[in-house]
Amino acid sequence: MKYKTLKGLQDILPPDISVWQHIEAGARDIFKNYGFQEIRLPVMESTDVFIRSIGETSDIVEKEMYTFQDKGGRSVTLRPEGTAPFVRAYVEHHLYNNPAPQKYYYMGPMFRYERPQAFRYRQFYQIGAEAMGIDDPKLDAEIISMLALILGSIGLVGLNFEITSIGCKNCRPGYRSALKKFLNDKIDKFCKDCQRRFDINPLRILDCKVPSCIESRQGSPPVLDFLCTECEGHFKSLKKYLDILSVSYTINPNLVRGLDYYTKTAFEVSSESLGSQKAVAAGGRYDSMVDEFGGPSTPGIGFAIGMERIIPLIKDSLSEPAGPDLLFCPLGDEAAVKAFLLTGQLRAEGLWVEMNLESTSLRSQMRKANRIGAKNVIVLGEDELKTGEISIKDMVSGEQNKSLLEVNQLIKIIRKET
């Protein structure tokens, strides 16, 4: 085979596409009720958009970006996530002048140059939502409960919601140095990745899954103890509002985001039935990002759902692919022309109609009718053309009914039966 999809990219074909449409339609429904509007953004941005927001030392920026030079010599990057481009657009179009909260959602492909794995692709699809302009933890709770509703309405069960607060620019430095102080004298007990993290981003040591690291970090100062009064109050209120909305969650103080722009609330949804790549959605608050993009200081919060992560969880509910309402089986050239005309007329009336374009034996035409799942079949031969009367066959019951070869009467019969 000469050409194939690039590594980590995939074609999405029928019937799988119906699962995607089901998810997208379900999400759109709920977004509408929460006042979110769709926004469509380019798949590439100036590379700086990502470096400045996601963080120079993050794994994404360090090794996972599809970055190249365009013909004008500019460095461009295929978006590895949706929030930074969104904030760029938010500032560029002065969307902060609309009444807060401004609420947007998007769905589309993201790109990360990683080694593919189960449920992890280089081009992957996210459904994301962003709400801007409100600092109140009620909004955090609203967002998380909306996420729960979306995932639930799509048909997902057994999900685990984890939340934490990672502080803000006022209290995080204090925590960071307290953590480094605690880890400093046992640094040689950690894996080599964690030793590297110690300087770059010590918070991520808390998220390491190596058993010796888990053990060595026992007794480390909990992040939640270092929150400033504002962050602490915010987190406390968030929990209260989640309780009011009956969203069940667990507090995971070791939840660490790979992106640098998060402040205060961070959350992640995971499914135990997925194996190693178990995160299906994640998000958090980013209160200083608009500022950094040159806009007026504006708080924001959002999340993204990983399409490829939720699809295997609901694939069982795949419905049978439908077949046409009617199939014409013409015998002979004259009949084929008549069927050709009627096919067009009936389609214009809103029916899904097909005709066999190849003149094969009636037997094989009927086989095909069965194979494609046609609901009704009309055989058009010399007799029918002569008398103007046909039999329409219901392929499920096998019954045949007489009818005149006339559009309105055919519609009536098909509509009644289907």
Partner RNA sequence: GUGAGUGUAGCUCAGCUGGUUAGAGCAUCUGACUGUGGCUCAGAGGGUCGGGGGUUCGAAUCCCCUCACUCACCCCA
Please report, as ranges, the residues that interact with RNA according to CB under 7 A.
4, 6-8, 58-60, 64, 81, 112, 114-121, 124, 126, 193, 197, 204, 207-210, 256-259, 268, 275-282, 304-306, 308-309, 331, 360-364, 366-371, 377, 379, 381-384, 391, 393, 395-396, 398, 400
Of the two residues 21 and 360, which places its CB atom closer to RNA in the complex? 360
Of the two residues 49 and 366, which places its CB atom closer to RNA in the complex? 366
Give least dist CB 71 to RNA, A: 26
Sequence-distant (6+) residues with CB within 8 A of 38 are 28, 31, 104, 105, 106, 107
Of the two residues 244 and 362, which places its CB atom closer to RNA in the complex? 362
Distance of CA 324 to CAs 117, 178, 355, Å? 38, 67, 10
Of the two residues 203 and 238, which places its CB atom closer to RNA in the complex? 203
Give least dist CB 123 to RNA, A: 9
Local structure of 351: helix, strand or coil: coil
Give least dist CB 151 to RNA, A: 11
Give least dist CB 380 to RNA, A: 7
Distance CA 300, CA 295 (A): 12
Phi and psi at residue 183, to the nearest 5°? -80, -20
Sequence-distant (6+) residues with CB within 8 A of 309 are 119, 271, 274, 277, 278, 279, 280, 281
Of the two residues 100 and 163, which places its CB atom closer to RNA in the complex? 163
Distance CA 79, CA 290 (A): 18
Distance CA 56, CA 176 (A): 18
Of the two residues 44 and 210, which places its CB atom closer to RNA in the complex? 210
The secondary structure of residue 62, as a DSSP letter, is: I
DSSP string across 120-158: B-SEEEEEEEEEES---HHHHHHHHHHHHHHHHHHT--S
Give least dist CB 278 to RNA, A: 6
Of the two residues 193 and 215, which places its CB atom closer to RNA in the complex? 193
Distance CA 141, CA 401 (A): 59
Distance of CA 314 to CAs 81, 157, 269, 319, 362, Å? 24, 9, 16, 11, 40
Give least dist CB 59 to RNA, A: 4
Give least dist CB 229 to RNA, A: 28
